[in-house]
Structure 1
Amino acid sequence: MSFLVRLPREMPRFSYFNVEVPFAAAKPRTLTDAGGEAILGPFDGEEAIAMMPDLDAGASATMPGALLPDLLRPVIDHHTRGRRREAALPVVN
């Protein structure tokens, strides 16, 4: 993890991370806590499978395939605004 914290401090263009490992939920928070303002975007990278725990842990977005972005966007919008309950509700059109 220290390399990922050091990288954006030494090379500011590298400030977004796609955390794509099993059980990644704790990693975005650890990364942002250690890297502070140098880490602009810790993203969930498990095709949004664990998106809610990852958002709760500090991920700022997700890196899913192109299958469901229109369904995932409201979840991220609600979560970002502190409306976790609404974020967790199923999307109904």
Structure 2
Amino acid sequence: MGGYLSRKLHSFDELPPGQAAIMRIDGKHVAAYRDDEGRVHSVSAVCPHMGCIVGWNETDRTWDCPCHGSRFGLDGEVMHGPATTPLGSGSTG
């Protein structure tokens, strides 16, 4: 959803169905995806391996770490390492 310099979303309400974004909410990096039914799936955008910010892989619908290749599912569970722990909660409330 745009490059590094694109406008960043600041609320789950701004996220259209079928889209994903890295947001900064309450000082936290949050990875959020709104599915086609309108449900928002959110997790921490910070990879637990070395602290890099994950990005959305639209083809596979995974959160991928650009630093060392870890991949995470919508729920934050590790699909491929080197990360061994899931992404943290994306809850901000």
**TM-score, scaled relative to structure 1:** 0.33
Q: Which has the larger radius of gyration?
A: 1
Q: Which has the larger share of strand? A: 2
**TM-score, scaled relative to structure 2:** 0.33
